[in-house]
Structure 1
Amino acid sequence: MEFIYYFGDVFSPVSFALLLVGTIGGLILGATPGLSPTMAVALLIPFTFQLEAAQGLILLGAAYTSTVAGGAVSAILLKIPGAPANIATTLDGHTMAKKGDGAKALQLSFLSSAVGGVFGVLLLIFLTPLLAKWALAFGPSHLFWLAILGVTVIGSLDSSSVVKGLLSGCIGLWLATIGFDDIMGAQRFIFHPSLGGGINIIAALIGLFAIPQVLTMFAKGRQASGAEVIEVKKHSVLDATKEMLRWPRALTIGTITGSIIGLIPGVGGQIAGLVAYDQTRKFSKHREKFGTGHPEGVIAAEAANNAMVGPSLVPLLTLSIPGSPTAAVLLGGLLIHGIFPGSDLFDNHPDVAWTFINSMLIGQILMCVFGLYVAGMAARVAQVPQSIMAAVVLVLSVFGAYSVQSSMGDVYVMACLGVMMYFLERFGFSAAPLVLGLILGPIAEANFIQGSMIANATDGMGVYFLGGTLNLFLIAVVVASIAYSVWMEVRVQKLVARGEAKS
């Protein structure tokens, strides 16, 4: 219970002011397309040079937490995920906003983010030594099977057709091979110098989600606005809380999935959100409503992507192994102040470690409070005329894509992928499976190649990839996921056939 001793340090005037600044700034940065949590934390590092170590980490930790949650704002209102972790939020959140339930969707996202985030930080506080040993158990073979598990989600993300979902995922997997191979250094599909470093995930994310929206808005032209005005429904925080508690299964699955996946080094919140969304959909009694503006989808996705924040820091603080790109930036923040994370961090610098962790716990609550305060006002974005909205989204998209690496090449990639996705959507394909393939491709490939090298030097491919309790467990989950998806698809087709026969 050592963390309680340092709890009061968070509420010192300077520390609490930094916590407020980091939380509010993180929400704003998170809602801006292209500014990922990693970039937001990196931008703030120079401001920590003159601060004490604990104070600098409070600022960075608050920005990390609130940026992940803030990404839901643009995901819900504009269908542009503020970060890869918010991809799954767009699937139901944006549809709710189009129905006038944007305030409700935002409130649900912030409430479920707070629940998942608090749970994740509590895991960080109470189970850090145990979880650190468990995180070390994951090697290349296990991460490969985890990526394959993510691939099994691809088909079910496209509600219109499993086949189209899988084809979209395959396109994403192919796009992931563009550039130089990280392991062998081979050059692949580099049609233009801009593709030498591969396709940047942020630029792809903006292009695949935002540009089709912009083109659709421009295609409609200046139509009579009377039929297009969306009535933004008022929704109280109390009603949102009751709504969230109506779906305990989605909240539980999202929180647990995010906590587990956040703990595994190198996986990230984007996979946590999508896997949680998929598993919630599979176990839901209202499976057919997912993708049509169903609250369960928003709750599961946002609970998962914030629940992973706390556990993602476990390998960093105890083993000096960053569990995510943002954790790697936080490692830099520690090293700047001469603090080396590891097993003795809590012995040598307990004031820094515990004050930082406690601030993240308080930061989750502050993030929820500020998010709920602006939810009603932010939802009015849905009432902006489409001609103006299209121009604003286009400017934000170009800014977001360029700001990642200060490269016009990323803007060209964003535009090309956006136009491609616009035409694919006309044929019933969706962006989410494609993005998931783009994310999972490098993870699966890199870990398979690394695993192959280890296997060839030891007991062979079969033993390395198919042996061991953890490998067998992950393989069983992969098989179960595929079998369940096939069973549900066959069941739906039979129900449709019966309905047609009766009619």
Structure 2
Amino acid sequence: MEFIYYFGDVFAPMSFMLLLIGTVGGLILGATPGLSPTMAVALLIPFTFQLEAAQGLILLGAAYTSTVAGGAVSAILLKIPGAPANIATTLDGHEMARRGKGARALQLSFLASAVGGVIGVLLLIFLTPVLSQWALAFGPSHLFWLAILGVTIIGSLESRSVVKGLLSGCIGMWLATIGFDDIMGAQRFIFHPALGGGVNIIAALIGIFAIPQVLNMFAKGRNDPNVEVIHVQKSPLREAVVELFSKSRALVIGTVTGSFIGLIPGVGGQIAGLVAYDQSRKMSSTPEKFGTGHSEGVIAAEAANNAMVGPSLVPLLTLSIPGSPTAAVLLGGLLIHGIFPGSDLFDNYPDVAWTFINSMLVGQILMCIFGLYVAGLAARVAQVPQSVMAAIVLGLAVYGSYSVQSSMGDVYVMASLGIMMFFLEKFGYSAAPLVLGLILGPIAEANFIQGTMIADAGDGRMGYFFTGTLNIVLIAIVVLSVAYSAFMELRARRQMQQTEALA
């Protein structure tokens, strides 16, 4: 119970002020399309140079947790994920906003984020030694199958056709191969200088989600009588709390899934949110409601992506292995102050480690308080006229894409992918599987190549990738995921045919 001894250090005037600044700033940055948690933390690194080690980490940790939660604002109101971790939130969150429940969706997202985040940090506090050893069990072959599992899961999300969903994921994985091969350095599909460094994930995320929205808004025109007018209904906080705990199954699934996936080095919150969403839908008694503005989808996704934050720091603090890209930036923040994480971190620097972890626990509560206050104000964004909203979203899209690397090439990539997605949606292809394929592509490729190198020096590729308990479990889940999605699609078609026959 050593962490209790250092709990008061979080409330020292300077430390608490930095915690407040990081929390509020993170919510604002998270709600801005293009500013991912990794980028937000990286932007704050220079401000920690003159701070004490614990104070600097408090600022970075608060920004990390609140940016992940803040990304739900633009995901729900604009259907533009503030970060890759918020992709799953768009599936039901934006539909709730269209039905006038934007304030309720934001309240549920922040409440679910707080519950998942607090449990995730508690896991970090109490189970760090045990979980750190378990994290080492995942090698290249397991991470490869985990990436493939992500592709099979996204095939059934939002898309009416499993085949089209899987094809969308494959298109995303193909886009991930553009650029230079990480192993051999060979050029692949570089037909424009802007693609020399590959497809930037933030520019792609903005383009694929934002540009089709903008084009649809412009296509409808200012005076079109069929233009959808979004009305915002007031949502009492008490009712949101009751609804959250009445949907405890989605909350538990999201929290458990996020905690489990956050522990695996290199996976990230985007997979946690989508896997939690998919599992919540499959275990629901009304899976057909998902994607139509069902609050369980928002709860599961947001609980998962914040529950991932605490466990993702377990391998960082105990093994010096960042569990996520943002954790890698936090590692830089530690090294700047001459602190090297490892098994002796809690012996040599207990004041820094425990103050940092305790601040993340308090930060989750502050994030919820400020987020709920922002929810009532932010929901008014939905009342902005479509013509004005289109111009604002387009401006944010250009700004967000350019600001990543100060490159007009990223703006061209954003616009090109957005126009491509606009036409793909006309044929029934979905944005979420394509984006996650783009994210998972490098993970699958890098671990497959590493695995083949290890396998060629040992028992061969078949033995390495297809044997072992963990490999077999993951392969079985992949097969079952595809089979279940196909079965659900066939059943839905059969029910539709029976309804048409009766009519």
Work out the CA distance in 1 between the residues paired with 2:78 and 2:193. 31
Partner residue of 2:417?
417
| Contact 1:159/1:291, CA 8 A, preserved across alignment | no
| Contact 1:244/1:299, CA 8 A, preserved across alignment | yes
Which stretch of structure 1 is more off in the superposition, 234-243 or 220-229? 220-229
Work out the CA distance in 2 between the residues paired with 1:262 and 1:432. 20
Work out the CA distance in 1 between the residues paired with 2:404 and 2:135. 30
Which stretch of structure 1 is more off in the superposition, 483-492 or 99-108? 483-492
Question: Cα offset for 1:286?
Answer: 1.3
SS state at 1:138 partner: coil
| Contact 2:33/2:400, CA 8 A, preserved across alignment | yes
| Contact 1:265/1:323, CA 8 A, preserved across alignment | yes
Work out the CA distance in 2 between the residues paired with 1:274 and 1:490. 22
Matches within 5 A, 1:71-86: 71-86=71-86
Partner residue of 2:436?
436
Partner residue of 2:21?
21
Question: Cα offset for 1:271?
Answer: 0.7
Matched length? 503
Partner residue of 1:126?
126
TM-superposition CA deviations, 1:284-334 (whole Å, max 9, x none) = 111111111110110111001001000000010000111111001101111
Q: Which amino acid aligns with 2:367?
A: M
Work out the CA distance in 1 between the residues paired with 2:139 and 2:73. 35
Partner residue of 2:235?
235
Work out the CA distance in 2 between the residues paired with 1:467 and 1:159. 33
Q: Which amino acid aligns with 2:208?
A: L
Partner residue of 1:393?
393
Question: Cα offset for 1:230?
Answer: 2.2
Matches within 5 A, 1:374-389: 374-389=374-389
| Contact 2:269/2:304, CA 8 A, preserved across alignment | yes
TM-superposition CA deviations, 1:337-367 (whole Å, max 9, x none) = 1110000000000000000000000000000
Work out the CA distance in 2 between the residues paired with 1:427 and 1:241. 39
| Contact 2:159/2:429, CA 8 A, preserved across alignment | no
Partner residue of 1:202?
202
Work out the CA distance in 2 between the residues paired with 1:438 and 1:136. 26
TM-superposition CA deviations, 1:195-249 (whole Å, max 9, x none) = 0111011000000000111111111121167964322100011111111112111
Work out the CA distance in 2 between the residues paired with 1:362 and 1:154. 34
Q: Which amino acid aligns with 1:296?
A: E
Partner residue of 1:253?
253
Which stretch of structure 1 is more off in the superposition, 22-31 or 161-170? 161-170
Work out the CA distance in 2 between the residues paired with 1:466 and 1:159. 30
Work out the CA distance in 2 between the residues paired with 1:424 and 1:207. 13
Distance 1:264 1:227, change over 3 A: closer
SS state at 2:155 partner: helix
Question: Cα offset for 1:488?
Answer: 1.7
Partner residue of 2:343?
343
Work out the CA distance in 2 between the residues paired with 1:475 and 1:228. 44
TM-superposition CA deviations, 1:89-121 (whole Å, max 9, x none) = 011101111111100000000000001101110
Work out the CA distance in 2 between the residues paired with 1:205 and 1:227. 26
| Contact 1:91/1:297, CA 8 A, preserved across alignment | yes
Q: Which amino acid aligns with 2:72?
A: A
Partner residue of 1:147?
147
Matched, 1:483 2:483: yes
Question: Cα offset for 1:161?
Answer: 1.8
Partner residue of 1:111?
111
- The percentage of aligned residue pairs carrying the same residue is 82
Work out the CA distance in 1 between the residues paired with 2:448 and 2:34. 30
Work out the CA distance in 2 between the residues paired with 1:471 and 1:230. 47
| Contact 1:225/1:385, CA 8 A, preserved across alignment | no
Work out the CA distance in 1 between the residues paired with 2:114 and 2:75. 17
Question: Cα offset for 1:174?
Answer: 1.2
SS state at 1:14 partner: helix
Question: Cα offset for 1:497?
Answer: 2.6
> Which runs of 5 or more structure 1 residues have no equivalent in the other structure?
none
Work out the CA distance in 1 between the residues paired with 2:210 and 2:263. 31
Which stretch of structure 1 is more off in the superposition, 154-163 or 448-457? 154-163
TM-superposition CA deviations, 1:31-57 (whole Å, max 9, x none) = 001000011001111111111100100
Q: Which amino acid aligns with 1:411?
A: V
Work out the CA distance in 2 between the residues paired with 1:241 and 1:249. 15
Which stretch of structure 1 is more off in the superposition, 244-253 or 297-306? 244-253
Work out the CA distance in 2 between the residues paired with 1:380 and 1:158. 26
Work out the CA distance in 2 between the residues paired with 1:361 and 1:156. 35
Work out the CA distance in 1 between the residues paired with 2:340 and 2:159. 47
Distance 1:38 1:136, change over 3 A: same
Partner residue of 1:402?
402
Work out the CA distance in 1 between the residues paired with 2:489 and 2:421. 25
| Contact 1:158/1:429, CA 8 A, preserved across alignment | no
SS state at 1:156 partner: coil
Question: Cα offset for 1:266?
Answer: 0.6
Question: Cα offset for 1:469?
Answer: 1.5
Work out the CA distance in 1 between the residues paired with 2:361 and 2:154. 33
SS state at 1:264 partner: coil
Question: Cα offset for 1:491?
Answer: 2.1
Partner residue of 2:94?
94
Give the RMSD, CA atoms, in angstroms.
Answer: 1.2
| Contact 1:277/1:301, CA 8 A, preserved across alignment | yes
Work out the CA distance in 2 between the residues paired with 1:228 and 1:473. 46
Partner residue of 2:163?
163
> Which runs of 5 or more structure 2 residues have no equivalent in the other structure?
none
| Contact 1:141/1:464, CA 8 A, preserved across alignment | yes
Question: Cα offset for 1:148?
Answer: 1.0
Which stretch of structure 1 is more off in the superposition, 96-105 or 152-161? 152-161
Q: Which amino acid aligns with 1:259?
A: S
Which stretch of structure 1 is more off in the superposition, 406-415 or 279-288? 279-288
Partner residue of 1:135?
135
Matches within 5 A, 1:4-83: 4-83=4-83
Work out the CA distance in 1 between the residues paired with 2:258 and 2:138. 16
Work out the CA distance in 1 between the residues paired with 2:164 and 2:451. 31
SS state at 1:157 partner: coil
Work out the CA distance in 1 between the residues paired with 2:210 and 2:331. 32
Q: Give structure 1 regions of 4+ aligned residues with deviation exceeding 3 angstroms.
A: 224-229
Question: Cα offset for 1:489?
Answer: 2.0
| Contact 2:159/2:428, CA 8 A, preserved across alignment | no
Partner residue of 2:309?
309
Partner residue of 2:176?
176
SS state at 2:156 partner: helix
Work out the CA distance in 1 between the residues paired with 2:367 and 2:422. 35
Q: Which amino acid aligns with 1:331?
A: L
Work out the CA distance in 2 between the residues paired with 1:188 and 1:281. 38
Work out the CA distance in 2 between the residues paired with 1:480 and 1:498. 27
TM-superposition CA deviations, 1:41-97 (whole Å, max 9, x none) = 011111111111001000000000000000000001111100000001011101111
